[in-house]
Amino acid sequence: MENFNFNERVVGMQAELYRFAYKLTTDYDSANDLLQECNLKAFSNREKLVMTDNFRAWMYTIMRNIFINNFRKSAHEVMLTTPEYDEYLKHTLLSPDADRFDTIYDLKELQRVLNSMPKEYKKPFFMFASGFKYREIADKMRLPIGTVKSRLHFIRGKLQVELKDFV
């Protein structure tokens, strides 16, 4: 396929691809990022496109595959902490009382309780603690939003019961 024609076709599909990216991500910034990744992937693999291929389908497939790969990566990389918690932890550990037994014990006890939770409850909790909204968690885990809310309610109750002596 001729480079000029390829470039025109990619540019001509930007609005359509952006709408598809927004449907996948439900976020304007994430949709822009996905569109840019898709364009980069298309340009770096343009020699793989055969003249008889359906160009639109090829572009949509690239975008869908990037989205799925990013989703899988993010599902494995759910952060345990937030920047605010990191700052609190740094302040706590650098304070003069950082080596106090009760401070260290409290953190270890929290970690123990969280690790004892079933995986299907832990994951939405860590995602919520990392700043994800209920809808985002439900979409990423492919669960009904009610299930996500129920699991978060369950783990909060369990934390309250298990850690009642630490409050």
Torsion sign (Cα): 11, 13, 18, 24: negative
DSSP per residue, 89-139: HHHHHHSTTTT-HHHHHHHHHHHHHHHHS-HHHHHHHHHHHTT--HHHHHH
Q: What is the pTM of this model?
A: 0.46
For position 78, what pLDDT does the model report?
52
Quote the tokens at residue 61. 């497939």
Q: Identify the residue with better confidence: 123 or 115.
A: 123
Of 37-46, 123-132, 143-152, minimum mean pLDDT range: 123-132
Q: What is the pLDDT of residues 73-120, one digit of tens each?
A: 765 555 555 566 566 656 655 555 544 444 445 566 777 777 788 888
Q: What is the pLDDT of residues 63-72, one digit of tens each?
A: 999 988 887 7
Query: Which are the contacts of 163, defined by CB distance < 8 A and separation ≥ 6?
Result: 109, 110, 113
Q: Quickly state the pLDDT bin for 19 (edges 50, 70, 90).
A: very high
Q: Are the C-beta atoms of residues 145 and 128 closer than 8 Å to each other? A: no
Position of tokens 């298309």? 42
Quote the tokens at residue 11. 């540019």
